[in-house]
Amino acid sequence: MFAKVKELIVDVVQQADLVLLALCCAASAFGLLMIASATRYTGSHQYVLVQLAALFIGIFLYFIISMVDLQPLLKKWKWLCLFNVGFILLLLTPLGTEVGGNRAWLSASWLPMNIQPAEIVKLTFIMLLAKQLVWLKDTRDLKSVSSVALLAGHLLFMVGFIYVVSSDMGSALVYVFAFLGMTFVAGVALRWFAFGGAAAGIGFFLLWEKDKIPEYMKMRFRVLFNHDLDPLNIGWHQTRSLLALGSGRFTGQGLFKGTQTQSEYSGSLPARHTDFIFSVVGEELGMVGCLFVIALLAAIIIRCLVVAKNANSRTDAYICVGIAAVMIFQTVENIGMCLFVMPVIGLTLPFFSYGGSSLVTMFAAMGLVSGVKKRALPEWLR
């Protein structure tokens, strides 16, 4: 019995994408180190322990999901749709918790960590969208009005549903960029992207002019063009972030030695272990540390795209592209936010920022990619 279990474990490990896993673990270990530094001023190890537990859970899920064949699961697409809706609706129950003005978290004493449903549902959204794209290509013209309308309807429903339930526009935007990456690769005509971009721009302008956008959201855009507009309120996070990044220069002030990072005043560098972890890297490890972070994330993204290129089915390829698109958007938005060139929308830096739900979801996503690589191998190697 023990021999069979050992053989099964060895088989699972050998068939997983160990290169991708090594990159993800390296990024997470680096992130753990920076979280330890960013939360040292609290005198508590809680954040590190939670993140470490999430890392172990994520690695376990990585191996399990690597072995799952998605085709039988995608045949139950109606159940996946119900899961997406039902899981988001849990936010309206007593489990739903409001953080920073968004009711985007599930929290309870019996849960090991807070759970963000939109983080988990984005994986099933990507899987369902991949299936929808393949079905439309096989049964209709993907460039037709009806096909684009069905795809757009799928996206708008999920984005609108998440925003209405949780008011979390940051998470909703992640779905938009996963959609753009997947539909572009699938072959949707460029004219539809131009039309959609124009419609979104006009819609945003009208909402702005009609004062349908909350004032605090407007200010997040205004301060990007005038950093002196509201430096003590809306612009506070990003002005402190720029100060931290600038003070680190090329090699940084030293690990556990950052002026703002180690300050006992939490407002010195707000959200330093979550949204602004990149600023902590910049202050303590300088440009060298920041470039290393970017290199690790770029390597993970490239690995996802390489696996997509070699996938043995279009569904698998689209799933990998969707996951890569999510990582690209979150990385660009988070780093841009720290550099004061993108608005603050509460998106974490993948693998680096504190957040058990986010870390577990990213490892689960990479498990999907690993499974795609495994299924692309010749039968005798599986």
pTM of the model: 0.93
pLDDT classification of 108: cutoffs 50, 70, 90:
confident
Residue 45 is predicted with a pLDDT of 92
pLDDT of residue 6: 67
378 has a pLDDT exceeding 80? no
Helix ranges (H only) for 16-45 are 18-38
Domain spans in the chain, listed from the N-terminal domain onward:
15-376
For residue 19, give the amino acid letter.
Answer: V
The one-letter code for the residue type at 6 is K
Dist CA 122 CA 75 (whole Å):
18
User: Comparing C-alpha atoms, which of 40, 13, 34, 94 is closest to residue 264?
Assistant: 40
Residues in contact with 151: Cβ distance below 8 Å, sequence separation at least 6, in sequence order: 129, 132, 133, 136, 179, 183, 188
Q: Name which residue leads in pLDDT, 3 or 21.
A: 21
Any idea which residue has 């072995």 for tokens?
A: 67
What is d(CA 323, CA 313) in angstroms, rounded to the nearest whole number?
A: 16
Q: What is the rounded average pLDDT of the residues 61-85?
A: 91
Tell me which range, 81-85, 293-297, 342-346, is most confidently predicted by mean pLDDT.
Answer: 293-297
Contacts of 267 (CB under 8 A, 6+ apart): 236, 240
Residue 211 pLDDT class (50, 70, 90 cuts): confident
pLDDT of residue 167: 84
**Residues, the chain, total?**
382
Per-residue pLDDT, averaged over 261-288, amounts to: 93
So what's the pLDDT on residue 216?
83
Per the model's pLDDT, the better-predicted residue between 58 and 12 turns out to be: 58
Instruction: Work out the pLDDT band at 232, boundaries 50, 70, 90.
Output: confident
Residue 121 pLDDT exceeds 70: yes
- Residues 317, 311 contacting (CB under 8 angstroms): yes
DSSP 140: S
How many whole angstroms separate alpha carbon 107 and alpha carbon 63?
27
Question: What is the reported pLDDT for 323?
Answer: 97
pLDDT of residue 16: 83
Q: Which token pair is 15?
A: 């068939």
At residue 86, the 3 state secondary structure works out as: helix
**For residues 105-110, average pLDDT:** 81
Burial status of residue 92 (CB atoms within 10 A of its CB: 0-12, 13-18, 19 or more)? exposed
pLDDT digits (tens, 9 = 90+) for 158-169: 999 999 998 888
Q: Kindly report the number of other CB atoms within 10 A of residue 94's CB atom.
A: 9
Quick one: average pLDDT of 112-141?
91
220 neighbors 170 (Cβ within 8 angstroms): no
Whole-number pLDDT of residue 352: 97
d(CA 170, CA 172): 5
pLDDT above 70: percentage of residues in the chain: 95
Average pLDDT, the chain: 91
Residue 104, classed as helix, strand or coil, is strand
pLDDT bucket at 8, cuts 50 / 70 / 90 = low
Backbone angles phi, psi at 140, to 5 degrees: -140, 180
Q: Is it the case that residue 380 has pLDDT exceeding 60?
A: no
| pLDDT band (50, 70, 90) for residue 346 | confident
Nearest-CA neighbor of 359 among 35, 13, 10? 35
Predicted confidence at residue 260, as pLDDT, reads 94
Least Cα distance to 275 among 174, 353, 356 occurs for 353
373 class by beta-carbon count within 10 Å (0-12 exposed, 13-18 middle, 19+ buried): buried
**pLDDT attached to residue 382:** 55
Structure confidence at residue 244 (pLDDT): 95
pLDDT at residue 105 tops 60: yes
DSSP for 180-230, written as a single string: HHHHHHHT--HHHHHHHHHHHHHHHHHHHHTT-S-HHHHHHHHHHH-TTSS
Closest C-alpha to 341, from 227, 191, 234, 183: 227
**Predicted local distance difference test score (pLDDT) of residue 5:** 66
Q: Which tens digit of pLDDT belongs to each residue from 148-189?
A: 999 999 999 999 999 999 888 888 899 999 999 999 999 999
**pLDDT single digits (tens) 35-56:** 999 999 998 999 999 999 999 9
